[in-house]
């Protein structure tokens, strides 16, 4: 009886460990799916969905967190506004209005535009880069400064920044795709082979226990 109880306890312990491993992987993929869905469905980006996240981010002293695709959307929109012959300050005001309901990034963008755009528009990107520790925004600000000094237009500068960040996003997605099989090996091994092995050994263990009891 004691041996049967011990065997049952071991099986329960292994099953619990299996559930913990699977829960970690499911949580990771659930976050990935949520980010993709928010990117392609505007109604998921409404303030009602991002309010709790925004409040958590606002309470942080910094740096704030932003997804690469949000920076890409901002730079693409800025490039489009500049191509419509908007000045840099006007284009930044337009982007601040468009991003007003998009979480902490929109809030910080609006704050920097209101305080800096009229004096030095490039400082808006500098402030955002410092808030989010974003190398992409730092490079975009540098390109805008070089464009103001001559050599290229603002539209060309933004086109280079958009191309660079899209290349980074594609590289990151490729790395995650290549890493996915390695992340699934352990859960699949534990979830498939260990239960089969346990079921196969259970009769042998039962006979051993019966022999020892006899």
CB 93 within 8 A of CB 106: no
Shared domain for 109 and 164, answered yes or no, is yes
Task: Show the tokens assigned to 203.
Answer: 């009769």
Percent of the chain with pLDDT over 70: 58
Tens of pLDDT along 52-97?
A: 444 444 444 457 888 999 999 999 999 999 998 778 999 999 999 9
Domain of residue 12: give its range: 2-56+186-213
Shared domain for 161 and 74, answered yes or no, is yes
User: How many structural domains are present in the chain?
Assistant: 2
pTM for this predicted structure:
0.58
Q: How many whole angstroms from its chain centre is CA 196? A: 36
Tens of pLDDT along 134-163?
A: 999 999 999 999 898 887 899 999 999 999
37 Cβ partners below 8 Å, 6+ apart?
Answer: 44
């Amino acid at each position: 009886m004691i041996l049967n109880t011990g065997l049952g306890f071991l099986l329960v312990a292994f099953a619990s460990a299996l559930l913990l491993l699977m829960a970690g992987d499911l949580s990771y993929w659930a976050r990935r799916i949520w980010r993709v869905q928010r990117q392609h469905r505007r109604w998921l980006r409404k303030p009602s969905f991002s309010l709790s996240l925004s409040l958590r981010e606002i309470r942080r002293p910094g740096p704030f967190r932003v997804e690469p695709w949000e920076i890409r959307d901002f730079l693409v929109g800025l490039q489009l506004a500049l191509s419509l012959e908007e000045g840099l300050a006007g284009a930044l005001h337009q982007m601040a209005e468009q991003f007003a309901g998009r979480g902490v990034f929109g809030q910080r963008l609006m704050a920097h535009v209101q305080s800096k755009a009229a004096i030095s528009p490039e400082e808006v990107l500098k402030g955002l880069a410092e808030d989010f520790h974003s190398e992409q925004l730092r490079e975009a600000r540098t390109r805008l400064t070089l464009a103001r000094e001559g050599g290229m237009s603002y539209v060309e500068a933004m086109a280079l920044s958009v191309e660079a960040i899209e290349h980074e996003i594609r590289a990151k997605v490729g790395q995650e795709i290549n890493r996915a099989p390695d992340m699934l090996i352990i859960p699949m091994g534990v979830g498939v082979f260990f239960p089969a092995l346990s079921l196969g050994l259970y009769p042998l263990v039962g006979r051993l226990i019966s022999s020892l009891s006899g």
